[in-house]
Chain A
Amino acid sequence: MRVKMLSRNPDDYLRATKKDMQRVPRNYDSKLHPMEAPREYVRAMNAAKLERVFAKPFIASLDGHRDGISCLAKHPCSLSTLLSASCDGEVRFWDLTRRTCIRAIQAHTGVTSGIAVQPSGSSFISVGADKQIRRWSMDGPVAGQPEEPLNAIVGKTVMSGVDHHWHKDLFATCGERVDLWDEQRSTPVRSLCWGNDQISCLRFNPIETSILGSCALDRSIVLYDIRAASPFTKVVMRMRSNSIAWNPQEAFIFTVANEDSRLYTYDMRQMSKPLNMLLGHVAAVLDVDYSPTGRELTSAAFDRTLRIFKQDQGTSREVYHTGRMQHVINVKWSLDNKYILSGSDEMNIRIWKANAAEKLGVMQPREQAALQYSERLREKYRHFPEIKRVLRHRHLPQRVYSEARQQRVMRTARKRKEDNRRENSRLGAEPPISECRKQIVSFEQ
């Protein structure tokens, strides 16, 4: 009997250097690894289930305020710092890593309605119900000295919000009108107004920084250009918008949080109709903030939940709630895209993970690769009914659940009625109008 010797080329199994990767002989012949789709389906199913198992988004709660949180502000240079103001006028600094309050200032008498941090992070501006604009240093006074603002301006009207220009030493306040202030002056550089109602929210565009967006109590959304010294677009919706947020990666996209429990995304250039309508909440949406990647956004609502939406999808991908959390007034997405911070009526600030099942901390490359693989598998098989069911499954409080069901019923009833009307009327007399367009009462340019 002939002996057939095995002879292998050392290049096939030896590494050239020590630092090379270990060669693992692998035969990719598909006959040796059959049933790829079914096996990947099972893996996707497991990944979906595991994702739900590991979804523990709540991290911490910061308590210390003695009244409901009125506003939150991120520090532009320090991820671990958060500023919050409450309805009793107090402003607190939080160290998020240690989850402690590092400083507290009684900034205003009455509600502190807005805080804005300077882009350099060295000071911040607060406005309050006492008609004052105060500028505070970010590092506190010398030990033993009382907290005093760097300067204070007494305005003519009550101001309901403030935002700082992204690059320049300018900031804008809103109240009866929008005032543009230079940090060096005690009178507004410019006043902008369209309509006579109170303006509730104001935000500078982070990319095209001379553009301002605002929401007013007269249900309008108004955009301004501070260079042209005038507003240029106004949209009046069916219900008022509570907050506005610009997409930090797309210069012309912004989203408003509406009182009708939805959020509307607009293209600044074509505001006659919202681009997208984000459904999910069952009560007024009070605040909205974009993730720094610009692909997702989070919203806080009166229904005591937070929701996370993908910008290009109509429904939320995540809903956060806890038993004790009351109406969520404010929400912020942290600048490293990892956390969500929410302030609510019951005086607490909560830290959430932006991706509920994400593992925080250092990961081995293998682990990382495995997680990425399972994520992509979930994405690939997300349309399969069983996987979809697992992935969509969320626990909701009873009231939210029933409210959502009720609203769904109402919506379908309305739709059915419209359809009936259309069917029973002359052709073309009742043209179908998209739900988005229905929300627009008037549009002016």
Chain B
Amino acid sequence: MFDEKHFHSELFHSEHHGTTESKPLNVTARPPLLFDFSDGIDGDGQLLELEESSGQGADGDHDSYHHRKLLEAISHIDGKDSRAVVERSGFTGKPSEFSVSYEGLDEKLEIADLLPSGNSGGRVLQHLQKRLEKLVHAENTLPAPTPQHEVEKARRAATYTKAKQAVDKWVPAVLEGRRDVSLVLPRGNWNMTNDLARPLHDVTRGSKAKTPLEQEVWTLLHGTSTPAPHSKAARILSNAMCIEEARARRAELQKYRALQSYFEAKARRQHKIKSKIYHRIQKRGRVKEENKQLEKLINSNDPSAVDKHFQLLDVARIKERMTLRHKNTGKWAKAQALIAKHDPKARAELQEQLMRSKELNRKQLTTTLFDDGCSDDEIQSIDEETKPCDFGSSTNPWMHTSVQLESCATLVGKDKKKEASEVAEDMKDNEELLKIDSDDDIIEDEQTVCKLQVNPAPRLAQEGQKVFSKEPINDFNEGNEYCEVLFSSCDVNVEAFETISKNDGIKPTMKLSKQIGKQNRTINNEVQSEMGKRKRMRCKNKMKTVTKNSVNVSAKSDEYVLEKCEENVVPSDLMEITTETHSTNCKKKQKAKAGVVKLEHNKKRSDLRIPSSVVFDDVDGEELDDEVDLAFQKLETVTNKKGNTEIKTAKRTKKTKEKSRRQINNKRASVEDMERTMKEDYALSDNLDGEQHSGVTHADHIDPGQFNVCSIFDYPTKEHCTSKVDHVVEKMKAGNARRKQVLTEILDKDKTEQGEGALVVEDEWEGDKSQRALIVEAFSGDDVVGDFSKEKNAKVASEAPQVKDLTLPGWGEWSGGGIAPNPRKRRCFTIRASPVVPRKDRSLPHVILSEKRNAALAQHQVAEIPYPFNTAADFEQSLRGPLGTTWIPSQAARLLTQPRVHTQMGAIIKPMSAEEIFGDAGRHGD
């Protein structure tokens, strides 16, 4: 409980004496208390009530009061206390708050005493009483005012806390900066132009001219007296236009906008029209317009404008060439191409497209020529020149190119199947036609065949003129071209084979054999198809040469292909053939007449390669026709079969190459021998055959760059021919059978040797061995191992503990001749060897381990673990990886060696800022 009296006394005590003791005071209670007192004193009725209540209270204490008065009087008898006790003289029921004093009272005055008792007062008084009670019972006292130094301390603490909070938010950024392996400064996006070092005058005043001199310079440079105003407002002002101008400008703009929208609408409308006729008309109009303009240009006598126009056209052409337009690659074209087979209209359309492309791509030279006034004939001739030859579809736009070789090849490839059946007939026809010609001509032609390779074109042209004077020259030229093309392609084959055969490289041969087999077939077909075409032109001798040549070539190439694979397996055949050739040669001497063109090898292998061994019978005997027909029928059938079997053999041969290789090598020698003998025979026959025109022509490498004909033209008699053909047919039959047999044999061999691969391994080993032998040979003089062991032995010997004999003979004793040193002294001065410690490298024959410590190295070694590391392993770990590009890729090296702090030359590095670290959110208002 709160002590009322105590409180009261304290209150007044402090009032009177004004002490500054720091006792708890209820500061909040104090002013209302006084105020309430003054409130309570107002009004007369209230004061009356106070009187009554005080009168009642005074009665009980009367005696004690007097007693106290008495005691006081006694105590003041001595008169020392001059201060009189405040006392009212008259009786009054209402004590005044102004003269309240407890001086001389033994008990304190209570506030409640100043008020009338609870129930007796009015409403206001009751209220006062209640408030008073509340105040009295309130516990919250005011603390004493804190001393200044304490206040400051508290304030500092608060400030510190705030400041700490403020800087604490930077901690993550700071730590990140410390952790950064490579700190890049300045951070973020700094502006090169703004942030780079600028001279002071640029920073401070920009481009302002300030001094008179600067102003003058400005005037000189810019022509105006003062620099342009820099402020934005000034710029706006200077750019402003007057209102009339603005209106005019606006009207103009509106007009343009209206026009633009009108044109756009029109274009859109036109674009929507689907009618093709309409568009065609439009286009025509456009073209007409263009032409008109062009004419105008030309008439205007302005060469530069015309040039410009043609340049534009040229550019258009270039663009056209670059695009895929009109190349029939689009969706539509592909669809059309699908139906073109059945729909001629679609085909025509496609072709038209292609033609268009050609037209657009063509150089505009003709127009200029036309403009220059060239005659129509000239243009015609140009067109004819550029025009392709007439074989194949004449409407095919692809054929309108100058690249005829390509077209020829493709065409032949396409038409091959179709014409395969016709070929034989064509050839027959040719032969019939050929038969009509005179023998002399034929012979002459055949002679030219050999010379053709040297210079075929003029010769042929001459002959063509001589024989067929009515034929146009260019046909021959064309023919020559084709011949050349074919020959060159054949040349390639032949050359390739030659090289192959020289190198004896089996592997590439086998690879090529397939390819070449195909090529030969195409060449044959080409020749045949070409002949089909030529039939119409009746260019017979030409054809013959072509066929002969091509036949020769193909025969030769074919022979090489098959020689590799089959020579070994048909030795008996060979033998037969050689004998046969011998016999033919013998006959040939007697009956040398133009006729069968054949090759020695073709003859040999007529059973295997029927088309290559085409035997042309130029003998003018009618009776041979049937036989030739027969032969060709056979030929046909065999060709068809061959198409399949050849591929097979090519494959097989590839497989069996390894096996056959050695055998071939063996056989080849014998074959070569045989060939040699045959050649000798021919030479012999040449010598003997003096009366013959050309007899046997053995043309070997006439022109190595051009063509290699190893053909021998034979002119057997009629009878012999028939027998020959018969023999050929027989051979064909036999050859087919034989071939099958060979194939089965090969297959069997394959099967048996599959999976073994022993030969291959052996071969590899052989290669290794040779390599090894090579190395051994290279280092034959060096005995590295021996040297090393010697060195090691020397080292071991030198490092082994040795006995040191320190005796000085003659020291302390007599010396001279014949006096042996004292053995006791010797024993004394001999230091014995320390016991032998086994060497660490004793079991390592290729290693010398030195156990001596290298003192010079010690100064380079780290003696103790350096500061940031705790263990030696940690430290070693830090040294482990290399950093240089000698050991690691450059990218990795770059990453590892990047500098710790990366700064930009001349860039000002600003302190860390909130914007950089926290973005816009970090902007604080301090």
Enumerate chain A interface residues (CB-CB to B < 8 A). Answer: 1-2, 4, 26, 28, 30, 33, 36-37, 39-41, 43, 75-81, 93, 95, 97, 102, 121-122, 137-139, 142-143, 166, 206-211, 223, 225, 227-228, 230-233, 248-253, 268-269, 292-295, 335-338, 369, 372-373, 375-377, 380-381, 383-386, 444-445
Can you pick out 30 interface pairs between chain A and chain B where the beta carbons lie within 8 Å of each other? A28-B888, A36-B886, A40-B884, A76-B908, A77-B198, A78-B203, A137-B204, A143-B212, A208-B166, A225-B159, A230-B156, A230-B159, A232-B157, A232-B163, A249-B177, A250-B178, A268-B164, A293-B909, A294-B177, A337-B901, A337-B903, A373-B884, A373-B893, A381-B879, A383-B866, A385-B860, A385-B862, A386-B860, A445-B153, A445-B160
Are A369's CB and B897's CB within 8 A?
A: yes
Residues of chain B within 8 A of A233, CB atoms compared: 156, 160
**B767 — nearest CB in chain A belongs to which residue?**
A2
CA distance A316 to B171 in the complex (A): 26
Are A225's CB and B906's CB within 8 A?
A: no
Are A166's CB and B911's CB within 8 A?
A: yes
| Given A139-B210, A385-B860: A33 in contact with B896 (beta carbons within 8 A) | no
**A271 — nearest CB in chain B belongs to which residue?**
B160
Residues of chain B within 8 A of A268, CB atoms compared: 163-164, 167
Are B883's CB and A293's CB within 8 A?
A: no
CA distance A228 to B155 in the complex (A): 8
Are B200's CB and A380's CB within 8 A?
A: no
B181 to chain A, nearest CB (A): 11
Are B909's CB and A336's CB within 8 A?
A: yes
Shortest Cβ-Cβ A-B pairs, 8 listed:
A79-B197, A292-B909, A206-B911, A248-B911, A251-B170, A232-B159, A383-B866, A228-B159
- B230 interface residue per 8 A CB criterion: no
Residues of chain B within 8 A of A102, CB atoms compared: 200
Enumerate chain B interface residues (CB-CB to A < 8 A). Answer: 152-153, 155-160, 162-164, 166-168, 170-171, 174, 177-178, 183, 185, 197-205, 210-213, 763, 767, 770, 859-863, 866, 875, 878-879, 882-884, 886-889, 893-894, 896-901, 903-913, 926
CA distance A251 to B763 in the complex (A): 78
CA distance A33 to B894 in the complex (A): 19
Are A230's CB and B152's CB within 8 A?
A: yes
Residues of chain B within 8 A of A228, CB atoms compared: 155, 158-159, 162-163
CA distance A251 to B174 in the complex (A): 8
B675 to chain A, nearest CB (A): 27
Are B897's CB and A227's CB within 8 A?
A: no
CA distance A228 to B913 in the complex (A): 22
B648 to chain A, nearest CB (A): 28
Residues of chain B within 8 A of A251, CB atoms compared: 167, 170, 174, 912
**B201 — nearest CB in chain A belongs to which residue?**
A139
B774 to chain A, nearest CB (A): 10
CA distance A121 to B861 in the complex (A): 54
Are A385's CB and B908's CB within 8 A?
A: no
CA distance A248 to B183 in the complex (A): 14
Q: A207-B912, A385-B861 are in contact. List 14 more A-B contacts (CB 8 A).
A: A26-B889, A121-B203, A138-B203, A143-B211, A208-B166, A210-B926, A211-B167, A225-B159, A228-B159, A228-B163, A293-B185, A294-B912, A337-B909, A380-B878
Residues of chain B within 8 A of A386, CB atoms compared: 859-860
**A253 — nearest CB in chain B belongs to which residue?**
B174
Are B863's CB and A385's CB within 8 A?
A: yes
Are A375's CB and B167's CB within 8 A?
A: no
CA distance A208 to B155 in the complex (A): 20
Are B162's CB and A225's CB within 8 A?
A: yes
CA distance A143 to B214 in the complex (A): 10
A164 to chain B, nearest CB (A): 13
Residues of chain A within 8 A of B204, CB atoms compared: 121-122, 137-139
CA distance A207 to B159 in the complex (A): 17
B563 to chain A, nearest CB (A): 22
CA distance A158 to B905 in the complex (A): 41
A384 to chain B, nearest CB (A): 6
Residues of chain B within 8 A of A337, CB atoms compared: 185, 901, 903, 909
Residues of chain B within 8 A of A230, CB atoms compared: 152, 155-156, 159
CA distance A77 to B763 in the complex (A): 80
| Given A143-B213, A211-B163, A384-B862: A78 in contact with B174 (beta carbons within 8 A) | no
B129 to chain A, nearest CB (A): 48
Residues of chain A within 8 A of B770, CB atoms compared: 1
B158 to chain A, nearest CB (A): 7
CA distance A253 to B170 in the complex (A): 11
Are B909's CB and A207's CB within 8 A?
A: no
Partner of B897, one of A2, A208, A372: A372
Are B156's CB and A445's CB within 8 A?
A: yes
Q: Which of A4, A121, A251 has the most CB of B within 10 A?
A: A251
CA distance A347 to B906 in the complex (A): 27
Residues of chain B within 8 A of A93, CB atoms compared: 200
Are A373's CB and B911's CB within 8 A?
A: no
